[in-house]
Amino acid sequence: MKSLLLLGGGGHCHACIDVIEAEAMYRIAGIIQPPADGMESILGYQILGSDEDLPSLLTQIPLALITVGQIKSPETRKRLFSIIKKNGGQLPVVKSPDAYCSRHATLGEGTILMHGSLINANACIGENCIINSHALIEHDARVAAHCHVSTGARINGGVSISEGCFIGSGAVIREGVEIGSGAIIGAGQIVMRDVPSGQIVRHRYD
């Protein structure tokens, strides 16, 4: 079983640990997080160092998963992704055994499918994405790199979500809608038309 570094020790990390343990394909070597966040173990896994230690740690343990959450901005996840790639690290796809992913779908490196998520035929998920618990990505949908599709969100057929977006819990995106880069769709929102880049949607968008 290959060893895996986790980058970020907050609440999202806790959920990722549960998925990794359930999948049972990787052994968690430890966690990287800023010193200000403390050095106590997290769910039984030790803190191995901070971002500054990452280049040297990657020479020993080249597999890493970014377990920092993403709500307002993808920039921290993007920065860590760049550090891993620059230092020759690799980012596996992690899939909960309770998730379903069509064999006709594609997943980018570093993406995680949380418990109960569903990826349908001909969907395409980019690198370093979070597809959270019970989220649905329907047929022919496209989710670009560094996006977070939150718990229970519904991305319908043919939707296109550009890089760095956040889709809140329980949001529903109508079929064929295009979401511009960096957009934030609030929890429970119903999106019926295209959303420009950088837009924040807090109310029904039709």
Q: Where in the chain is the domain with CATH 3.40.50.20?
A: 2-86
Q: Where in the chain is the domain with CATH 2.160.10.10?
A: 93-206
CATH dotted code for 93-206: 2.160.10.10
- Structure tokens belonging to residue 123: 């969907």
- Structure tokens belonging to residue 13: 């990390």
Fold of 2-86: Rossmann fold (3.40.50)
pTM, to two decimals: 0.95
* pLDDT, one tens digit for every residue, the chain (206 residues): 899 999 999 999 999 999 999 999 999 999 999 876 777 889 999 999 888 999 999 999 999 999 999 988 999 999 999 999 999 999 999 999 999 999 999 999 999 999 999 999 999 999 999 999 999 999 999 999 999 999 999 999 999 999 999 999 999 999 999 999 999 999 999 999 999 999 999 876 66
Amino acid at 18: D
